[in-house]
Structure 1
């Protein structure tokens, strides 16, 4: 008997989810399939248009990313439009954004993106401290105000190092409580919430009005986390095969009204794992 290809397995799994083989009830995940462009960092320089074709073939209709080397932002927008993919969020470098929001606003307008996300706050020696958190709060409030005036929402993407204990919570709590809700929102990275020992579902419910976006990722079983904000990329696994309670996360995310979800798979096996992830989230039922 011939072995099934990964695509064959994916189609069977997808058919099973659609026909109710895996579970009864309403599907939990009803949002468009989104993808973080960083997932395909090993593919873009081999051909942007070919990579976009692959992404489209996966059923992706939303992306988070931004300009790519080798193609103007205007041309990339045309290529996305051609494939029915919307760039709803773009990334921004913390330092550049804190100095000026002009370039970020320009790029967001070109792509039609309504969100800008910052994924890393620079900090010395791997130690995230109160002084750094205070500066980030001030920078986010300032940049967030300017972005809002341009019709764009600033979101901060947690990366694990912010969960240093502080008072009755963590420095992440400090950032949430001291940023202006009118100007600053948040994007939860599920892996970088669980890796330092936090419960993603509980954290979503703790700040129900502040979360707007989400990175869907799972952490390999048995991996012990820390506050470094770093782990080998091979610890990124297909959703449903790792140690994170993904159904609980998606139910909480739906409850707090997450607007857009982006699959981000940093592993070398992303082409194999993305179809598994998509089939899995579509198969989760109430």
Structure 2
């Protein structure tokens, strides 16, 4: 059985800002099973839930900044519970030292506990800067090793792992069942610009196969910058993923 495929709506941020409901409708028409939120278009939770049901879209996750997670977590939990979203994702944190990673691991555990108590799961999403080494260990490894596996999962962004010079497949294997969510992107063959999934240098087949093996819950397409019309880009990515027979 194929892992369900969602779109991170940040990819369509410019059009979503003008027409959030219409953007969701087009995502559904293109054939995505779910969406991952980066904001809710100013919609009330009940209205968004009704729209998702109408479009037959499932919530795959929601990116929420750490400032909101630490100051207004109850509101985040209540909203996402109402729309039927299980995964709350911390999308970014800055670090300067090893102690910054260790301290933030404690923060993630605290947020993760509150999410867990309310039936939700906290995930952390990486970029490339978590791959600075401290006494031989990457910062991302410090987060993995110092967060409670019952409270904190990870959304591995395969592009940024590759960009940092590490191996996405090895990371999916290492994180195992804690790699609940996976961001799929591709990288242009010349340079490191973003590309539609299946058109660049990333081993998408190997990544998807490994994700299936460890039990990843959602494959989530994200393209931070599109050189084509973004709706064309997300369709190319989805069509290429559907061709993978694993």
Tell me which interval the TM-score lies in, with the shorter structure as reference length: over 0.9
Structure 1 residue corresponding to 2:18, chosen from 41, 46, 51: 46
Q: Is the 8 A contact 2:92 2:127 kept in 1?
A: yes
Which stretches of structure 1, 4 residues or longer, exceed 4 Å deviation after superposition? none
Q: What is the CA–CA distance in structure 1 between the aligned matches of 2:164 and 2:134, rounded to whole Å? A: 14
Structure 1 pair 62–136 and aligned structure 2 pair: CA distance change class (3 A):
same
1:37-72 CA deviation, whole Å, 9 max, x = no partner? 111101113222221221111111211106423432
**1:85 is matched with which residue: 45, 49, 57?**
57
SS at match of 1:40: helix
Shift in Å, 1:267: 2.1
Aligned length: 244
**Alpha-carbon offset, residue 174 of structure 1:** 0.8
Find the structure with the greater CA-based Rg: 1
- The TM-score normalised by the length of structure 1 is 0.81
Q: Which residue among 31, 37, 40 is the counterpart of 2:9? A: 37
Match of 1:250 in 2: 208
CA RMSD of aligned residues (A): 1.6
Query: What is aligned with 1:279?
Result: 239
Larger RCO, structures 1/2 (Cα 8 Å, 6+ apart): 1
Is 2:161 the partner of 1:193?
yes
1:236 to 175, 191, 194: 194
Asked if 2 retains the 8 angstrom alpha-carbon contact of 1:33 and 1:59, the reply is no
Equivalent residue number for residue 212 of structure 1: 180
